[in-house]
Structure 1
Amino acid sequence: MKKVILVFALVLSALAANAQLTVSVNGGIPVSDVEDYSSFALSGDVGYAFATDSDLMLGVSAGFLNYFGKDYEVLGTTIEAESIQFLPVAGFAFYRLSDNFSAGSKIGYAFGINDGNDGGFYYKPMLNYMVGNATSLSLFYEGVSDDGINANNVGLGLTFGL
């Protein structure tokens, strides 16, 4: 048992040497089923990325996704839709296409936070452009899918490596 713990500790140490903590802030325009009830999506997450070789990055992330409810009129009465909120937990993989561009995706599960929200399968394909040594801009399509109901948004994000 001591040998297993020692090997595990050595592997984690090697991975931690190439690891990077990331923080992302994202804004998006709701599309699909949620666009009738939401005017804007805002999300953020914290990730832990591991470089496996010079071109591939793997990691995990957890965050918060909020679809802000919008006002709409029904028979002359203004109704405000409630915000839809998720807690996405995902694994991710990114592949460096060039010195400045990378492409990849986050895949996992988004836990529903507000009442009546069961959550669902979470996915976020992305195209990233490096604007500094540890900063990137991203174009993405983010979504949560459960039983044919989709909460999706198209947006832009900013990621900082710490």
Structure 2
Amino acid sequence: MKKRVLTLLVATLFSAFTYAQAGFNIGGSIGFPYENYDGYDFSFAYSIDANYLFEVNQAFNIGLATGYGQAFGDSYYVGPIYGNFNTPDFQYVPAAVAARFNVNRRLVFGANIGYAFSVTSAKDNFNNNYYDGGFYWRPMFGFNLNDQFQLNVNYIGISDYYFYYSAFNLGFTVNLN
């Protein structure tokens, strides 16, 4: 899986250089985790993102995306035998292909698809890594306030065989052309 994602990223990078530069964007968002791995609850999340997009035509941009995200683990009472269960924080760095479709000057739809590498090395009671990273997808809907600033709503999903993380996010992006 990692080799396929890396191959896709390299192919996109080489093909993207044939088009005009659309720009470098940075942004941040706050998230509200939803439907995560059984028994592992997160209370709040944030992410910082960077995209470098190339213009294919006036309506479509493609490029590379990365960043950093963190979800804060929650604590809850399991029972008198087990006591409190503390979910460790989950930290990840995505490497993804980014695509944006400009409906008009104000509305933007897009997605980031790639792999999220886990920075966390948490283990469960059986000494298994349950934060290994995994397939990363991030569909988004944005509203351009002007040529430099954008408000957006996005969803982050990260999954592998044993772990699933998802969050709904509210974000702000700055275009640094």
Q: Tell me if both proteins adopt one fold, taking TM over 0.5 as the criterion.
A: yes
Structure 1: which 5+ runs fail to align? 1-10
Which residue of structure 2 aligns with residue 19 of structure 1?
A: 22
CA distance in 1, matches of 2:72, 2:52: 27
CA distance in 2, matches of 1:127, 1:45: 15
CA distance in 1, matches of 2:149, 2:118: 29
CA distance in 2, matches of 1:47, 1:99: 19
Amino acid at match of 1:103: F
Structure 1 residue 99 displacement after superposition: 1.7
Is 1:118 paired with 2:122?
A: no
Alpha-carbon RMSD: 2.0
Check the 8 A contact 2:51/2:98 in 1, yes or no: no
Check the 8 A contact 2:116/2:135 in 1, yes or no: yes
Structure 2: which 5+ runs fail to align? 1-15, 122-128
Check the 8 A contact 2:22/2:61 in 1, yes or no: no
What does the per-residue CA deviation read over 1:7-35, in whole Å, with 9 as the maximum and x for residues that have no partner? Answer: xxxx94x64x5231110101111111258
Aligned residues: 150
Which residue of structure 1 aligns with residue 109 of structure 2?
A: 103
CA distance in 1, matches of 2:164, 2:114: 15
Name the stretch that deviates more: 66-75 or 124-133: 66-75
Which residue of structure 2 aligns with residue 4 of structure 1?
A: none
Structure 1 residue 71 displacement after superposition: 2.2
Is 1:93 paired with 2:96?
A: no
Structure 1 residues 78 and 147: CA distance shift in structure 2, 3 A: closer
Alignment of 1:62-77 (within 5 A): 62-75=66-79, 77=83
Q: 1:145 aligns with which of 155, 159, 162?
A: 159
Which residue of structure 1 aligns with residue 143 of structure 2?
A: 129
Greater strand share, 1 or 2?
1
Alignment of 1:4-15 (within 5 A): 12=17, 15=19
Is 1:54 paired with 2:68?
A: no
CA distance in 2, matches of 1:107, 1:128: 17
CA distance in 2, matches of 1:18, 1:141: 26
What does the per-residue CA deviation read over 1:70-93, in whole Å, with 9 as the maximum and x for residues that have no partner? Answer: 121233754432101111111111
Alignment of 1:24-39 (within 5 A): 24-34=27-37, 36-39=40-43
